[in-house]
């Protein structure tokens, strides 16, 4: 058998969930995976000292882990989960019903009979609003604790006295139980990064890094490069080209890594295995010695394929299982190429098998490679995959599978599990190739991040924000009056770098979706909004409009009569809005996410001279807004915008803007009033209709320079023109 050098790389990553303006964590996944995966994945390796591995820690994840470890963090779901049950508000209870069940049912929820019972009761209630009435204080307390206990590391569940007692208890938890679990969570969060440093100090693990905010570096350098791997992919125009940002993301990663782990990283897992010659040239210049990507990139680079036989052994295996020295820009880096087949077995297949059978199968497949591929030198087999998300699909969070697999590898004299740098040192002669094919690990292209209309829109927003930042930076460099300060520029650039992360475009387009799509979308646009706000400017209205098109359930009725409206902010008579068109969103299902839901419904219609709009709000929340304004956008041949400023729920002034006009109210062409409702009436001469058959309408509420609610949530409402729709006739 040919000797096998097995390189296992576990990639640890979560997006930056911390809102730069509020400091709040908008989603809890960093904390929950820190409890379930990050500490235990390193800890279990300690039982097998001959098994070495590489852990890739994304810096933006590490920064969040540090804040969680300090105990000084602001995460609403954490606070709600441990709040005394008697003090929970209705909104917090809805948040619990939303978050508590966002986990794998079979392996994380079903192991707790009481958790199953509560889940079934909620499902049978046929709606979270009804479930509020069916659960008592004891139920809420159990649901709070079990939703957190389910994410605790397997070792804590098995051996920690407090956590194992709570696991055994199973029901009828007390507030003291909740506080004890809270303390244990904080204890475990504080142990994560020290465990990585300890394991690295022994030499058992190597820690590699990724560009700071996990961006797709080739696209940052030049978005047009996506056409190399897919000539038909849609692209933003003009292109996004900021190789200086790619360099900054890598430089920050190196500085962070050195501060936290005590030494600069040798290796780089470029986000999503995305490489190009320009990227590797920058990385090599900064001191990186090795990188890793997927076999698809290697296949395109060498113009060869790796089709598998029945045992999973690839053709051209001598090339796949050899390191490759890539020469770019006069510099070199050593490349590892992920065995796609084996890695995906771990990620997606073995979770459905008995752990022992799965571990044996993987071990034997690696041995088969060594037995059948004879090249006169050690083979380097790269097993590279996500180190967190797969395990919730395994019984016991995959710990038994890992232990059984590691034990087989440790006891096999023909296989050496090495860190990546150890594998480079042990490889002997390494062939050199000029250049590399630009692509990611997914389908050897960049389509996930730039291959749809939603992706292109996201890149367009990013480019405009980046251009605005560059203009302001130039003004500051030239000493112009009222130019932003260095502190403002730094805050804006930080938000830009965060928005460059790959995670936002992961959810745009048709490839991926989750229950948190809307929150990911909103947070991306919040980051871009922060760029403008940090520079003392108003963010573009378009950032209030979702990119991810997920229509909100709504009742939509067209107008059925012409209107006669008295604009006074009240429903003057019962008949005033009778016959109006209606857009009424069902917002019950989205109110539990901690996001403000202020806009209730829109009514609209025409008379022969004016367009009328009525906006109904949830009055109990509108009065709580400060520095708030309505932004009403009407699109025809050009865009008309009416900005209505509020003070204590009443109109304090309004502005009408179009291509040719900027008008301060009050004025007869646009009438505005707000009391119980907002009423807006716009004269027909303000509309440039041309030969259009419809107009588009959107209403947003902004507070403190940020969009906080929008109707319709999915974008704009189309309103048909013509007398048959009780609208203006189009000539």
Q: What is the pLDDT of residues 562-620, one digit of tens each?
A: 999 999 888 888 789 999 999 987 654 332 223 456 788 999 999 999 999 999 987 66
- Nearest one of 1, 44, 37, 11 to 338, comparing CA atoms: 11
Neighbour tally for 136: CB within 10 Å: 10
Q: Is this prediction's pTM over 0.75?
A: yes
What mean pLDDT comes out for the span 175-198? 98
pLDDT at position 537 is 95
- Distance CA(459)–CA(237), nearest Å, equals 9
The 10 Å CB-count burial string (b at 16+, else e) for 564-577 is ebebebebeeeebb
pLDDT at position 289 is 98
Evaluate if residue 190 carries a pLDDT over 90: yes
Contacts of 76 (CB under 8 A, 6+ apart): 24, 25, 95, 594
DSSP single-letter state for residue 551:
P
Containing H/E element for 404?
A: helix 399-410
pLDDT at position 102 is 95
How open is the CA angle 623-645-659, to the nearest 5 degrees? 150
Residues in the chain: 731
- Nearest one of 442, 466, 27 to 275, comparing CA atoms: 442
Is-contact 173 141, C-beta < 8 A?
yes
What mean pLDDT comes out for the span 147-168? 97
What mean pLDDT comes out for the span 408-432? 97
Mean residue pLDDT of the chain comes to 92
Evaluate if residue 56 carries a pLDDT over 50: yes
Q: What is the pLDDT of residues 266-303, one digit of tens each?
A: 999 999 999 999 999 999 999 999 999 999 999 999 99
Which DSSP string do the residues of 594-659 spell out, in sequence order?
S----EEEEEEEE-SSEEEEEEEE-HHHHTT-SSEEEEEEEESSSEEEEEEEEETTEEEEEEEEET
Q: What is the pLDDT of residues 95-134, one digit of tens each?
A: 999 999 999 999 999 999 999 999 999 988 877 788 888 8
Residue 123: CA count within 13 A, CB half-sphere:
7
Helices in 9-127 by DSSP H: which ranges? 29-33, 39-43, 59-70, 76-81, 90-99, 113-124
Is residue 33 helix, strand or coil? helix
Q: What is the pLDDT of residues 306-344, one digit of tens each?
A: 999 878 899 999 999 999 999 998 999 999 999 999 999
Angle between helix 137-149 and 113-124 (nearest 10) = 120
Evaluate if residue 189 carries a pLDDT over 70: yes
Q: Cα 683 to the chain's mean position, in Å?
A: 43
Q: What is the pLDDT of residues 463-479, one digit of tens each?
A: 999 999 999 999 999 99
Least confident of 212-226, 514-528, 665-679: 665-679
pLDDT at position 625 is 65
pLDDT at position 129 is 80
Q: What is the pLDDT of residues 642-674, one digit of tens each?
A: 999 887 767 888 888 876 666 666 667 899 988
Is-contact 240 402, C-beta < 8 A?
no
């Amino acid at each position: 058998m040919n000797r096998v050098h097995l390189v296992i790389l576990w990639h640890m990553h979560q997006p930056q969930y911390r809102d730069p303006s509020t400091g709040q964590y908008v989603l809890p996944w960093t904390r929950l995976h820190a409890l379930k995966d990050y500490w235990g994945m390193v800890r279990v390796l300690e039982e097998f000292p001959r098994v070495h591995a590489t852990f890739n820690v994304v810096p933006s994840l590490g920064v969040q882990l540090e804040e969680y470890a300090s105990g000084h963090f602001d995460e609403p779901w954490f606070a709600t989960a441990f709040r005394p049950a008697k003090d929970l508000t209705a909104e917090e209870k809805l948040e619990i019903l939303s978050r508590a069940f966002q986990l794998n049912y079979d392996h994380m929820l079903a192991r707790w009979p009481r958790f199953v019972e509560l889940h079934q009761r909620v499902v049978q209630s046929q709606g979270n609003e009804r479930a509020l009435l069916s659960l008592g204080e004891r139920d809420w307390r159990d649901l709070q604790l079990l939703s957190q206990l389910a994410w605790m590391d397997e070792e804590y569940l098995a051996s920690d006295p407090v956590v194992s007692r709570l696991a055994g208890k199973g029901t009828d938890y007390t507030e003291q139980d909740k506080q004890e679990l809270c303390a244990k969570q904080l204890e475990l969060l504080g142990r994560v990064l020290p465990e990585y440093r300890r394991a690295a100090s022994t030499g058992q693990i190597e820690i590699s890094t990724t560009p700071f905010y996990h961006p797709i570096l080739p696209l940052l350098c030049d978005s047009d490069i996506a056409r190399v791997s897919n000539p038909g992919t849609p692209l933003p125009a003009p292109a996004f080209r900021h190789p200086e940002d790619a360099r900054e993301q890598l430089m920050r990663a190196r500085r962070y890594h050195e501060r936290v782990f005590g030494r600069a990283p040798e290796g780089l897992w470029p986000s999503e295995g995305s490489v190009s010659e320009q990227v590797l040239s920058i990385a090599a210049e900064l001191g990186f010695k090795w990188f890793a990507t997927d076999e698809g990139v290697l296949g395109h680079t060498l113009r060869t394929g790796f089709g598998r036989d029945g045992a999973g052994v690839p053709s051209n295996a001598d090339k796949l299982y050899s390191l490759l020295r890539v020469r770019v820009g006069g510099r070199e880096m050593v490349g590892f190429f992920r065995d796609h087949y084996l890695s995906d077995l771990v990620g997606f297949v073995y979770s459905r098998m008995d752990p022992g059978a799965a571990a044996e199968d993987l071990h034997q497949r690696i041995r088969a490679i060594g037995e059948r591929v004879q090249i006169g030198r050690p083979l380097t087999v790269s097993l590279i995959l996500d180190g967190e998300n797969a395990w919730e699909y395994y019984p016991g969070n995959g710990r038994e599978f890992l232990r059984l697999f590691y034990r087989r590898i440790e006891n096999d004299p023909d296989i050496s599990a090495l860190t990546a740098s150890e594998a480079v040192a042990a490889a002997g002669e390494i062939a050199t190739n000029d250049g590399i094919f630009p692509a990611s690990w997914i389908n050897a292209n960049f389509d996930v991040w730039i291959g749809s209309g939603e992706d292109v829109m996201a890149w367009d927003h990013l480019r405009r924000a980046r251009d605005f930042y560059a203009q302001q930076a130039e003004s500051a460099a030239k000493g112009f009056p009222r130019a932003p300060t260095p502190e403002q520029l730094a805050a804006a650039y930080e938000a830009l770098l965060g928005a460059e992360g790959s995670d936002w475009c992961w959810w745009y387009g048709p490839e991926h979706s989750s229950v948190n799509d809307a929150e990911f979308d909103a947070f991306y646009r919040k980051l871009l909004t922060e760029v403008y706000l940090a520079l003392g400017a108003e963010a573009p209205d378009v950032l209030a409009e979702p990119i991810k098109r997920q229509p909100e359930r709504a009742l939509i009725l067209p107008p059925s009569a012409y209107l006669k409206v008295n604009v006074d902010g009240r429903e003057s008579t019962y008949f005033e809005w009778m016959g109006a068109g209606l857009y009424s969103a069902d917002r019950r299902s989205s109110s539990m996410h901690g996001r403000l839901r202020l806009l209730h419904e829109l009514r609209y219609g025409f008379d022969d001279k004016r367009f009328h709009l009525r906006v109904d709000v949830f009055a109990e929340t509108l009065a709580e807004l400060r520095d708030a304004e309505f932004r009403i956008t009407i699109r025809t041949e050009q865009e008309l915008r009416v900005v209505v400023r509020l003070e204590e729920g009443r109109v304090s002034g309004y502005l009408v803007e179009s291509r040719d006009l900027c008008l301060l109210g009050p004025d007869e062409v646009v009438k505005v009033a707000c009391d119980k409702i907002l009423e807006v009436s716009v004269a027909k001469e303000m509309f440039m209709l041309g030969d259009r058959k419809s107009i588009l309408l959107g209403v947003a509420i902004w507070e403190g320079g940020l969009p906080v609610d929008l109707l319709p949530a999915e974008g704009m409402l189309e309103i048909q023109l013509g007398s048959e729709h009780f609208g203006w006739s189009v000539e």
